[in-house]
Chain A
Amino acid sequence: MTSAITQTRCLVLWLMDWPVIAWWLDTGVPQTGPVAVFEANQVIACSPDARAEGVYLGQRRREAQSRCPQLQVVAANVQRDEQIFTPLVVMIERSVPKVQVIRPGLAALRVRGPARYYGGEPEVAKAVLSGINELGVTGGRVGIADDIFTAEQAARDTQQADPIRVVPPGGSAGYLAPLSVNRLGDPELSELLPRLGVHLLGDFAAMAVNDVRDRFGARGVRLYELACGRDPREVVPRDVPLEFAQQIDFDPPLVLAEQVAFCVQATAEKFITALAAQQRACTELRVVLLAEQGEHDERVWLHPDCFDAPAVVDRVRWQLQAAAGKAIGSPLTRVRLEPVATDAIAHHAPGLFGSGTDEKVHHVLSRVQAMLGHGSVVRPAIGGGRGLAERQQFVPWGDRAVLDRLPDRPWPGHLPDPLPATVFPQRRRVEVTDADGVRLAVNDRLLLTSIPARLGIGAVSLQLASWAGPWPIDERGWDGSCAVKGCRFQMADDTGGAWLLVLDEDGSWWAEGRYD
C-alpha cells in the first residue's frame, strides 16, 4: 500500500521530562535533585537524579519513594506544563515560523523552507535550540525526518552531548526498522507483538497490511503506518494569537468620568480600527480600570451586534460610574480594552438595501441607554423558582440573560395561570383583619384564626369578598440564608381587584402582586 500523502521534512523538538522542568521553572527552585511528577499515583516524568536512583515511568508512588526516599513528589498539572511551554514556542517562532505544539514538551515544525534560509537542516535545529537556551531551558533534543513519528524517535535517540539527529530523506523505514515495538507507545501492542514473535518495528512493517487489519483493526493499521515510516500526520502550525488589546495611561491621573471618556475616545477608535484591519468585529469586550492606589475594576460587556468606538466609550463611562466610590476610590491611571470574543466583520456589515428594523431598534435603545445608564433599558426573562418576583429577571439591553434557576424544571408549587399583571418589585406591607379588626394569623395546623374581612394597604381599606388559602411555602429549609417559609393567599376585594398575599413566619402580611 502506498501512501497518498506527500510527506514534507519535519523537525521535532523534544524536551525530556518536561513536567519536571516546568515545575522547576514555575517554582524557581534550583534544577537539581530527585523530582518525580505523578498522575493517578504513577510516575509520568522524573528528573535525571531520580532516574539514577531507580525511579522509572509508570512506577507506583510508594515504590518510587521506597527506591528514593528523598524524592520530591509533585502532582501533575497540565495547565502549568502548557503555561511554561508557551513562551518557548513564542521564542522558537521568532527564529522559525509555524510551530505545532503536539503536547507540552513536544513541538513539530516544517523544515524545508527554514533549511534553505539557514543553509541546512542541522543549522535550523541549532537555531531552535539556541532559541530555547535563551530562556534558560537546556536539554532540548531535535530529530529531523520525513514524518513526525520518525523525527520524534530520532529526537528520543539523541544524547545530551549530541542533541541533533537527522534521518536522511527516504530513510525513515530503515531508521525505524531496528527499533523496539515499544516505541509505538501502545501498551496493548507492545505486549502482544513480542508474544507473537515480532520484536522490532521492521518486523512489524514487514507484515502484510491486510493481516494487520484483520488482527488489529483500524488502530493497528494506523500504528503499522507509523512503523513503515509513513506517519500520515502533517505539521499543522498553531494560529498565532494577535494582540488586539489597547490601553491608555493617564498622567496625571484623571478624576472626572467625562475626562476619562474624552481621553479614551482615541484609544477606542484605535482598538476598533485594529480589529477591523484583521476583518474582525468585537462582540464581547473586557474593560479594565486601574486607579492610583492600586484599585482594580474589570467587567465584561456584551453587545447585541458589535462594538463601535462610541459604544466602547459608553461602556467605559458606565463602568466608571458604577465603580466610582466603591471599587475605585482614587484617580484613574489606566484604562485597558481587551476583546473577549470577536466575529468576522462580514457578519455585521449593514445590508445593501438598508438594515432591518432590529438595527433601528438597537440604535434607539443604545441612545436611551447612553442617556439613562446601562441598567435602565432592560428586557424581561423568565427563570425558574416559585416566587413571582424571583421568577422574572430583567436583563440590561445588550447583556446575555444568565438564569440562575432553570425555567424548564417542574418547580412544584409555583403559581399557575392566570398570573398577577402587577408584580411589586419590593413586596408591599398590608394588613389583613377579621370583622373585629384583629390581625389574622395561621395556627400550627395551617388554619386561619378567623375569617378575613378587610384588607388594608397603606391608608386604603378594602372589604374582602372572597379568599382562598393558605397555601404553604417551605423552601430550602436546609439553608438558613435563603430559606423561605410562609403561606400564600388569593383574596378578591369587592371593587373587582384581586391580590396575591403572603403571610410570613413572623406573622406579617405582604402583597406580592395584584391581579388587575
Chain B
Amino acid sequence: MAVHPALTGLLDGGLQPGAAYSVDGGALLLALLAEPSGSGLWCGVVGIPELGAEAARSAGIVLDRLVLVPKPGERWLSVVASLAEALPIVAVRPPSPVRDGDAARLAARLRERSSVLLVCGDWPRGAAELRITRAQWSGLGAGHGYLCGREVTVSVTSRHSGMPRTARMLLPDANGRLAAGEVSVVEVSRRPRLRAVG
C-alpha cells in the first residue's frame, strides 16, 4: 500500500497488506492515512475522539471516505475486526491492553482481508514501529510569529531489520501536509568515526 515518498524508504516501499504497525498518533498517523485515502481507499479510525478533522483534510485525507468510531468502549477489538473486513486501512488507539491471543486472531483476520492496522500504542508482533524521535517547531518566537512547520525525525524499527532507520522531514509543513526534508536515510548505529584534528 502506497505511502508518501518521504516514508517509502523507511518502510521498504510501503505498508504491507495484512500487517499491523505501531505508530505515534497525531500528524504521523494522518500522514500515513493520507496517501491510501487519496488513492480512493476507505479509512477507519477507532477510539480517537480528538482526531482533528480539519487537520486530516489538510493532510490529504478525503473526509468522504473517512469513518470514525470515536468511543468503541469495551468492544473495541470486535469493532476493529468488523471494520477490517471492509476497510483496507484501520487505525486504532486501544483503550485497554490487548492480549496476545486476541492480537493473533486479529492478525489472521487482517492477513485474510489484506487490511492494514495502524495502532497508536503498543502492539504485540507488529511489523514495524514508527516513532517521532525529534521534533522542532519553526515559525514561533518570543511573543511573535506563527507556527509554520515542524521538522521531525521519524524513526522506524522494523521486525526484520533490527536497526532503526531514521529520516528527517517536515510534518506538517506550512500547508499541513507531510513534506520531504532532505531525505537522508542515516542508520543511527553507524556513528561517524572520530579522528584527532591537531
**Whose C-beta in chain A lies nearest to the C-beta of B30?**
A421
Structural contact, B70 and A361, CB atoms closer than 8 A: no
Name B68-86 residues within 8 Å CB distance of A.
68-73, 75, 78-79, 82-83, 85-86
Set A391, A419, A424: member contacting B50, Cβ < 8 A = A424
Contacts of B73 in A (CB 8 A): 372
Name B126-167 residues within 8 Å CB distance of A.
132, 134-137, 140-150, 152
Measured CA separation A377–B135 after assembly (Å): 33
Structural contact, B64 and A379, CB atoms closer than 8 A: yes
Structural contact, B85 and A419, CB atoms closer than 8 A: no
Contacts of B173 in A (CB 8 A): 418
**Whose C-beta in chain B lies nearest to the C-beta of A359?**
B86
Set B63, B78, B147: member contacting A380, Cβ < 8 A = B63
Set B24, B85, B147: member contacting A418, Cβ < 8 A = B147
Structural contact, B55 and A380, CB atoms closer than 8 A: no
**Whose C-beta in chain B lies nearest to the C-beta of A378?**
B68
A381 at the A/B interface (Cβ < 8 Å)? yes
**Whose C-beta in chain B lies nearest to the C-beta of A500?**
B147
**Whose C-beta in chain A lies nearest to the C-beta of B58?**
A417
Structural contact, B144 and A423, CB atoms closer than 8 A: no
Set B26, B52, B64, B69: member contacting A372, Cβ < 8 A = B69
Name A465-501 residues within 8 Å CB distance of B.
466-469, 490-492, 495-498
Contacts of A490 in B (CB 8 A): 140, 146-147
Given the known interface contacts A371-B75, A497-B135, A498-B147, the answer about A468 and B140 at a Cβ–Cβ threshold of 8 Å is yes
Structural contact, A516 and B72, CB atoms closer than 8 A: no
B87 at the A/B interface (Cβ < 8 Å)? yes
Contacts of A469 in B (CB 8 A): 143
Given the known interface contacts A371-B75, A421-B30, the answer about A492 and B147 at a Cβ–Cβ threshold of 8 Å is yes
* Interface class of chain B by DSSP: mixed
**Whose C-beta in chain A lies nearest to the C-beta of B88?**
A357
Contacts of B58 in A (CB 8 A): 417-419
Number of chain A residues close to chain B: CB under 8 A? 49
A244 at the A/B interface (Cβ < 8 Å)? no
B13 at the A/B interface (Cβ < 8 Å)? no
The 8 A CB mask of A391-424 against B (1 = contact, 0 = none) is: 1101001000000000000000000111111111
Structural contact, B140 and A420, CB atoms closer than 8 A: no
Nearest-neighbour CB distance to chain A for B61, whole angstroms, equals 9
Structural contact, B87 and A394, CB atoms closer than 8 A: no
Measured CA separation A490–B143 after assembly (Å): 9
Number of chain B residues close to chain A: CB under 8 A? 58
B184 at the A/B interface (Cβ < 8 Å)? no
Measured CA separation A491–B173 after assembly (Å): 17
The 8 A CB mask of A337-367 against B (1 = contact, 0 = none) is: 0000000000000000000010011011101
Contacts of B79 in A (CB 8 A): 368, 371-372
Contacts of A425 in B (CB 8 A): 49-50
Nearest-neighbour CB distance to chain A for B60, whole angstroms, equals 12
Set A368, A377, A421, A497: member contacting B52, Cβ < 8 A = A421
The 8 A CB mask of A62-100 against B (1 = contact, 0 = none) is: 000000000000000000000000000000000000000
B67 at the A/B interface (Cβ < 8 Å)? yes
The 8 A CB mask of A40-68 against B (1 = contact, 0 = none) is: 00000000000000000000000000000
A179 at the A/B interface (Cβ < 8 Å)? no
Measured CA separation A367–B58 after assembly (Å): 30
Nearest-neighbour CB distance to chain B for A10, whole angstroms, equals 52
A515 at the A/B interface (Cβ < 8 Å)? yes
Set B53, B54, B71: member contacting A376, Cβ < 8 A = B71
Structural contact, B144 and A361, CB atoms closer than 8 A: no
Measured CA separation A363–B82 after assembly (Å): 10
B172 at the A/B interface (Cβ < 8 Å)? yes
Given the known interface contacts A378-B68, A468-B145, A492-B147, the answer about A392 and B50 at a Cβ–Cβ threshold of 8 Å is no
Contacts of A496 in B (CB 8 A): 132, 134-137, 150, 152
Measured CA separation A249–B150 after assembly (Å): 63
Set A380, A416, A419, A421: member contacting B68, Cβ < 8 A = A380
Structural contact, B142 and A421, CB atoms closer than 8 A: no
User: Can you list 15 A-B pairs, Cβ within 8 angstroms, ordered by A?
Assistant: A361-B86, A363-B86, A368-B79, A368-B83, A371-B75, A371-B79, A379-B63, A379-B66, A417-B58, A417-B174, A421-B25, A422-B52, A468-B144, A490-B140, A496-B136
Known: A419-B58, A515-B147, A516-B27. 17 other contacts (CB 8 A): A364-B83, A364-B85, A368-B79, A378-B67, A378-B69, A382-B54, A388-B52, A392-B54, A417-B175, A418-B172, A419-B52, A419-B176, A423-B50, A466-B145, A468-B140, A468-B145, A496-B134
